[in-house]
Homo-oligomer: A and B are copies of this chain.
Amino acid sequence: MAGGPSTPELAIAVCQAGGLGFLAAGYKRADAVAREIQTVRAATGAAFGVNLFVPGAEPATPRSLAGYLAEIASEAARQGASVGEARFDDDDWQAKLQLMCTERPAVVSFTFGCPPAEVSEWLHGAGVAVWVTVTNVAEARAAQAAGADALVVQGSEAGGHRGGFIDDGSDEGGIGLLALLRLTARAIPLPLIATGGIMDGAALAAVLCAGASAGQLGSALMLSPEAATAEAQRAVMADPGPTRVTRAFSGRPARGIVNRFLVEHSAAAPLAYPEIHHATSPLRAAARKRGDADAFNLWAGQAHELAHAWPAAEIVREIAAEADAVLERVSAGRRGPGTSAGSRSPSS
């Protein structure tokens, strides 16, 4: 939940409720991440994790950018903002890796790619567990080969950026969480952390049955007071609006609630991350400030309407307790007398 909702306060609250809180390092300089780590450590001695973006290999070609930058100039003007510089960067990669080896959080998770094997070795040497976000079995195999200790398995339901390695434009929203968990569990003998659409205890119980060791929450925490979710987004999160995967805001596929900007610009948006992210950044910030929910990225998963505006610790505790109750009830129901053999069969 980089780029907004993630805060040290949210990570602290999750840790205090018995979860593994995460800090989002993406889009931030290493020194800002260092300050967030200090804030967490001042509040809790619990284990926590940090999520890093793996930088892309090369900048987009100026030719693929020019048309889209022209297209969004009117959007910038509408918000009283300018189009940002469409620059390539590596998200302060080396400095953040160095910070991780110094600060040694319990876990560093990676998104947008697979860290090289020497990075895993380096982190392992510092006593840090390496988790890699994957969206298909090929990525899972590559992550295993690169030394991952666990895989964050991101289903198509997930809000925000698709966390896979390669954006060749063919992802098409991706593989549903349940199918992806089974495919990955059958192929790769690593602990799996499920993410995408987990909004309540029944969903957590489901992913535990499907082979996950844990569930990772995103949208489920976005209405909590500890999250820095924009007010204009909070207002639409609880409504049953459809979501779509788009490159319009960042140049990289991400799932958000459908709004005017997404509808008008998805078709033209190039594969160009982080260039488009930087280009739209000022206009998105202005729209967020003005409360114009039709003009910034409303990242949210497919079940976002099930989010609660509860304190984060309460959300975590409620989901864990409900998962236990669901597992107890469903397994008792299968054991009990008078239940049918169960699996039902085909049509259409």
Known A157-B175, A327-B330; contact A211-B202, beta-carbon cutoff 8 A: yes
Q: What separation, in Å, do the CA atoms of A30 and B176 have in the docked complex?
A: 36
* B216:A345 contact, CB within 8 angstroms: yes
Cβ–Cβ < 8 Å partners of A11 in chain B? 345-346
Chain B residue nearest in CB terms to A1: B346
* B217:A343 contact, CB within 8 angstroms: yes
CB of A279, distance to nearest CB on chain B (Å): 21
Q: Is A270 an interface residue (CB 8 A)?
A: no
Q: What separation, in Å, do the CA atoms of A22 and B347 have in the docked complex?
A: 6
Cβ–Cβ < 8 Å partners of A331 in chain B? 324, 327-328, 330-331
1/0 contact trace for A176-205 toward B, CB 8 Å?
111111110110000001001111101111
From 295 to 348 in chain A, residues with beta carbon under 8 angstroms from any chain B beta carbon are 301-303, 305-306, 316-317, 319-320, 323-324, 326-328, 330-331, 334-335, 340-348
Tally of A interface residues using CB under 8 Å: 97
Cβ–Cβ < 8 Å partners of A21 in chain B? 345-346
Known A185-B202, A344-B20, A348-B111; contact A157-B176, beta-carbon cutoff 8 A: yes
1/0 contact trace for A150-185 toward B, CB 8 Å?
001001110011010000001011011111111101
Chain B residue nearest in CB terms to A324: B334
Q: What separation, in Å, do the CA atoms of A208 and B177 have in the docked complex?
A: 15
Chain B residue nearest in CB terms to A3: B348
Q: Is A245 an interface residue (CB 8 A)?
A: yes
Q: Is A49 an interface residue (CB 8 A)?
A: yes
Cβ–Cβ < 8 Å partners of A65 in chain B? none
* A320:B343 contact, CB within 8 angstroms: yes
Cβ–Cβ < 8 Å partners of A328 in chain B? 331, 335
* A2:B345 contact, CB within 8 angstroms: no
Q: Identify 16 new A-B residue pairs, CB closer than 8 A, beyond the known A161-B348, A330-B331.
A: A10-B346, A11-B345, A19-B341, A22-B346, A157-B175, A157-B176, A160-B348, A172-B172, A176-B197, A179-B196, A179-B199, A209-B209, A216-B344, A216-B345, A319-B343, A320-B342
The contact sample of 20 A-B pairs, CB cut-off 8 A, is A11-B345, A18-B342, A19-B343, A24-B347, A51-B347, A172-B172, A172-B244, A176-B177, A176-B196, A179-B196, A179-B302, A182-B197, A202-B209, A209-B209, A209-B326, A215-B344, A217-B346, A320-B343, A323-B342, A331-B331
